[in-house]
Amino acid sequence: MATEDDDRPRKKVTHEIGQDLSLLSVEELTERIALMTSEIERLHAAMTKKRASKDAANSFFKS
């Protein structure tokens, strides 16, 4: 049976660095870890792409 809470839109999970974590449930902490892990992976991918671009440019101009 669905409850009233099921019909409400879920609040988007956000995280602010340094915020108080004492009021968050284990589920909320797990969601935030997943969110931050995916963001770290995205940042690593962007960094890898930028390094490859820079290395290609350096290689081209050294020739």
Query: What is the pTM assigned to this prediction?
Result: 0.63
For residue range 24-33, list pLDDT tens digits in order: 999 999 999 9
Cα(48)–Cα(35) distance, integer angstroms: 20
Q: State percent of the chain over pLDDT 90.
A: 56
Angle at 21 between CA 15 and CA 25, to 5 degrees: 95
Domain segments of the chain as ranges:
36-63
Is there a contact between 32 and 24 (Cβ–Cβ < 8 Å)? yes
What parts of the chain have a pLDDT lower than 50? none
Do 29 and 21 touch, CB atoms closer than 8 A? yes
Three-state DSSP class for residue 17: coil
